[in-house]
A and B are shown apart, each in its own frame.
Chain A
Amino acid sequence: MHLSSDDLVLWEYGWVKLNLTIITTWILMVALGGGCFLLTRRLSNAIHIPRWQHVLEVVLLGIQAQIEEVGLAQSRRYISFIGTLFLFVVVANLAAIIPGYEPPTGSLSTSTALAICVFIAVPLFGIREIGVLGYLKSYLHPTPVMLPFNIISEISRTLALAIRLFGNIMSGGMIIAILLTITPFFFPVVMHALHLLTGLVQAYIFSILATVYIAAATRGEGA
């Protein structure tokens, strides 16, 4: 048994390794990108639109509404980043219903990569909204004494993001694997359904936390 799909290296040349995580991610990228390409080729501007277009619009407008609800009024500026986070984690987690599939989000490398993306994106969005000085001042909020704690908070919440997602997804996969060996048939099915729900909730938590961090940075309220 392996803890992460990173351990399954399919091709290696020097320090370059193509493990299962990267391959699965590529497959998901092709599925998502190709699917969107195929779906959005025939978008209709008419009053009556196809049902699949309704589904796409419901998903996108739902994400946009969540972003605005958190406090980012200009939701279209952030929907590419936050929406991609949510859709990637959701699709990666829900694809676990396919037998033999190992979600890339169950890899600490992937969750760390996503957390690093959030770690980099938060100051970039903050600086774009309120400028460099405005953003840096947010670390002195509410008093300069809080500067080290704000920096620690910035790093720790990134770690928390990465480990929360990794822990939940990895543990779900582990539990199902263990239950299959102990009590096959019924319990693994229930746990699998629970794992799907957990994956959905984790995707929501990950993306909503990223939105909250970005919203705090763009308002200059610090970490």
Chain B
Amino acid sequence: MLIDWFTVAAQVVNFLILMWLLKRFLYQPVLDAIDAREERLTQQMQAAQDTQAAAAAERNKYERLNAELAQQQAGLLAQATAEVEATRLQLLEAAHNETASLRSQWQDALLKEQQSLTQGIANRTRQEVFAITRKTLADLADTGLEARMVAVFINRLQTLGMAEKIQMSPPAGQTDCQVLIRSAFLLPPNEQKALGQAVRNLLPIQPTIRFELASDLLSGIELISNGHKLEWSIAEYLAALEASIGELIHTTLVTNASVAPPEPAHA
């Protein structure tokens, strides 16, 4: 017979034992290992997704911060540029003002220097003219400068026109007349006497004559009567000379203008 029932029973038992063995040593451990690995993979995937999400959030945060920083930087740069521009304009204006002030001071100083120079030249010229004239007159005509000046002034009084005489005379009915004669030098007594006589001849009444020394008269004689003034001096000659010298100085200044005062350094 092909079937041995003892063998059948033994094989059934063997199969059940083998089933237990495989379940114990194969299916259970391997399937558990698969489950554990799947669980681990799931956890790792979840952790990776969480990390990725966190990284994305961080990236977004830093991108936003970067954008804010760039915006802030641009704002600060614009503000700094505006402040620098304002400061530059302010400094430029201050420099312009300082330049203008320096130029004004320089021009004032130049003007003062010119005036001082002019004054000095005038004084010196007057002194030189007087000295030369005095020496020339003494050498050539054997006479003094002051005497010639008084003579010239007397001559002028004598040749005055009628209108000037009327202006010099006191009004009708006035008995008192004050005449002031100012001179740049002290008149000798002879000249004072001659000059007083010429004045008395000019006026209709007897005036009271007073002589006064005036150093600012630029070497001349001045007569003041009835509010009118009659004078002779070398001022006119000196004015012409001064104009000539002034033109010379101006030319020199224009030539030196190229050497302008130094500009103040700009900030």
Contacts and interface: CB of A to CB of B under 8 A. Distances in A.
B6 A45 contact: no
A44 interface: yes
B19 A80 contact: yes
B11 A113 contact: yes
Contact of B40 (A28, A36, A47, A117): A47
Interface in B138-171: none
A21 B7 contact: yes
A53 B33 contact: yes
Contact of B2 (A4, A26, A88): A4
A171 to B, nearest CB: 13
B15 A113 contact: yes
Nearest to A22: B10
A10 to B, nearest CB: 12
B7 A17 contact: yes
Contact of B37 (A47, A80, A110, A117): A47
B3 A112 contact: yes
B12 A32 contact: no
Contact of A44 (B5, B6, B31, B33): B33
B65 interface: no
A25 interface: yes
B236 interface: no
Contacts of A47: 37, 40-41, 44
B62 interface: no
B30 A57 contact: yes
B175 to A, nearest CB: 146
B36 interface: yes
Contacts of B26: 36, 40, 56, 60, 83
B33 A87 contact: no
A140 to B, nearest CB: 30
Given A36-B21, A56-B30, A61-B34, A45 B8 contact: no
Contacts of A150: none
A113 B27 contact: no
B264 interface: no
Contacts of A98: none
Place the interface of chain B in its size category. Answer: 20 to 34
Given A33-B21, A80-B22, A84-B18, A43 B29 contact: yes
Interface hub of B9, B10, B40, B41 (most chain A Cβ within 10 A) = B10
B11 A25 contact: yes
B12 A16 contact: no
A45 B30 CA distance: 10
A79 B26 CA distance: 11
Nearest to A162: B3
B14 A22 contact: yes
A39 to B, nearest CB: 8
A146 interface: no
Contacts of B23: 80, 84
A36 B29 CA distance: 10
B33 A43 contact: yes
Contact of B11 (A43, A76, A110): A110
Contacts of A112: 3, 8
Interface string A109-122: 11011101100000
A88 B8 CA distance: 15
Interface hub of A47, A60, A84 (most chain B Cβ within 10 A) = A84
Nearest to B38: A45
B25 interface: yes
A15 interface: yes
A140 B36 CA distance: 44
A47 B27 CA distance: 20
B17 interface: yes
Nearest to A18: B10
- Which 5 A-B pairs give the minimum distances between C-beta atoms? A113-B11, A33-B21, A109-B7, A36-B25, A36-B26
Interface of A: 3-4, 6, 15-17, 19, 21-22, 25-26, 28-29, 32-33, 36-37, 40, 43-47, 49, 53, 56-57, 60-61, 76, 79-81, 83-84, 87-88, 104, 107-110, 112-114, 116-117, 166
Interface of B: 2-12, 14-19, 21-23, 25-27, 29-31, 33-34, 36-37, 40-41, 44
21 contacts: A3-B2, A17-B7, A21-B11, A22-B14, A29-B18, A33-B21, A36-B26, A43-B29, A43-B30, A43-B33, A45-B40, A60-B30, A80-B27, A83-B27, A84-B18, A104-B11, A109-B7, A109-B11, A113-B12, A113-B14, A166-B2
